[in-house]
Amino acid sequence: MREKLENIRKEVETLLQQSDVNLEELRIRYLGKKGELTSVLRGMGALSAEERPIVGQLANDVRFFIENAIAVKAEEQKKEQMKMKFMKEKLDVTAPGNAVKVGKRHPLAKVEMEMWDIFLGMGFDIIEGPEVEYDYYNFQALNIPENHPARDTQDTFYITNNILLRSQTSPVQVRAMEKQKPPIRVISPGRVYRSDAVDATHSPMFHQLEGLVVDKGITMGDLKGTLELFAQKMFGPETKIRFRPHHFPFTEPSAEVDVSCFVCGGKGCRVCKGEGWIEILGAGMVHPYVLSNCGIDPEVYSGFAFGMGIERITMCKYGMDDMRLLYENDVRFLNQF
């Protein structure tokens, strides 16, 4: 029996050398009701009266040994687990952080906001108009009656016969004049639509920025001065502007406006296609019919208006040759701005 007890002790000792031994299983196996030590103790009745206390003492020692060894091992295992946990959770405060990827403004938005700044600086307000517009505002009130050939170049998407996606930001002029009596000094940026097929210079959706000033005594000189200042802020202080006669139904006289090429300064280069000038907008003096359509007396008030394509100006400014780049959202392209 003593031998058996000694063996139990040795077995336990060996088992406890494994670091991941299951202590609960071990406890049940040796100390449990049906455990090995217990069954030895049960057999004690068969011992002689002299041997019994000695074996009893030994059995108690072994029990004590096992209990103690399990407790020590449990403590060890706990420490080991904590250590592993700390290793896993270790936070190296000196490690370089993971940089948060910050987005950037889209080049179109950047250019548009530059335009806002320039015009806000000249005392303009920014207003918005609907993209889904009535035929009346997009065409008729702007002196473009039904069947007028000017509609051909601005074919758009129709919702009904008289509701459409606006083909220009000019209808916002009419909305502004209906709402507000002069003096009026506003710009209105936004999306416009045309039923154009996509290519390097066309898109069925693009952006314009409209400008309108109406007051007593507004002249073409005011228009020129305003656009010159705009061009110089946008493209550099050396920039010159040039007016070419043109026709728009809602302005009289009308002009197309060019800026001197900001790349070559006017000598002729790839960007201006050898011209020395780059066309950037349409402008003119608000047609008297348009003023009266909006309830403003053309005998008392006069005004100027202009409209420019934001894509066009962005492409010129950054030397882009394909408009589609602006809509593809390729970060390799967008990251360059």
**Binding to ligand DAH, residues 39-68 (CB under 6 A):** none
Dist. CA 120–CA 165, nearest whole Å: 27
Question: Minimum distance between the CB of residue 161 and ligand DAH, rounded to whole angstroms?
Answer: 22
Nearer to ligand DAH, 41 or 305 (CB): 305
Site string for ligand DAH, 105-144 (x = CB under 6 A): ----------------------------------------
**Binding to ligand DAH, residues 259-318 (CB under 6 A):** 282-284, 305-307
DSSP string covering 7-42, please? HHHHHHHHHTTSTT--HHHHHHHHHSTTSHHHHHHH
Question: Minimum distance between the CB of residue 92 and ligand DAH, rounded to whole angstroms?
Answer: 59
Question: Minimum distance between the CB of residue 277 and ligand DAH, rounded to whole angstroms?
Answer: 18
DSSP string covering 97-134, please? P---------HHHHHHHHHHHHHHHTTPEE----SEEE
CB 163 within 8 A of CB 130: no
Question: Minimum distance between the CB of residue 247 and ligand DAH, rounded to whole angstroms?
Answer: 10
What is the sign, positive or negative, of the torsion defined by CA atoms of 38, 42, 46, 49? Answer: positive
Alpha helices in the chain (DSSP H): 2-15, 23-31, 36-42, 51-89, 107-121, 135-138, 171-179, 220-235, 288-293, 310-318, 331-334
**Binding to ligand DAH, residues 201-230 (CB under 6 A):** 210
Nearer to ligand DAH, 272 or 310 (CB): 310
Q: Does 170 bind ligand DAH (CB under 6 A)?
A: yes
Question: Minimum distance between the CB of residue 282 and ligand DAH, rounded to whole angstroms?
Answer: 3
Question: Minimum distance between the CB of residue 172 and ligand DAH, rounded to whole angstroms?
Answer: 9
User: Contact with ligand DAH (CB under 6 A): which of 206, 248, 262, 301?
Assistant: 248
Give the number of C-alpha atoms closer than 13 A to the C-alpha of residue 13, restricted to the C-beta side: 8
Q: Give the footprint of ligand DAH on this chain (CB under 6 A).
A: 168, 170, 210, 248, 251, 282-284, 305-307
